[in-house]
Amino acid sequence: MKVRSSLKSLKGRHRDCKLVRRKGIVYIINKTDPRFKAKQG
């Protein structure tokens, strides 16, 4: 999982990327292509 300072730019890389916030930590999740997983915070 990548740890990024900005996830907005990462969201535009794949059409199935979803931005999810859990317990104050922001995640990018992608069911079809798991290599795009990322977290911030």
Buried b (16+ CB within 10 A) or exposed e, 8-28: eebbeeeeebeeeeeeeebbb
The amino acid that residue 9 corresponds to is S
> Which pLDDT does position 6 carry in this prediction?
87
> Which pLDDT does position 40 carry in this prediction?
93
C-alpha–C-alpha distance, residues 28 and 12, integer Å: 11
Task: Provide the whole-model pTM.
Answer: 0.79
Give me 9's structure tokens: 């730019």
Per-residue pLDDT reduced to its tens digit, 1-41 = 889 888 888 888 888 899 999 999 999 999 998 888 999 98
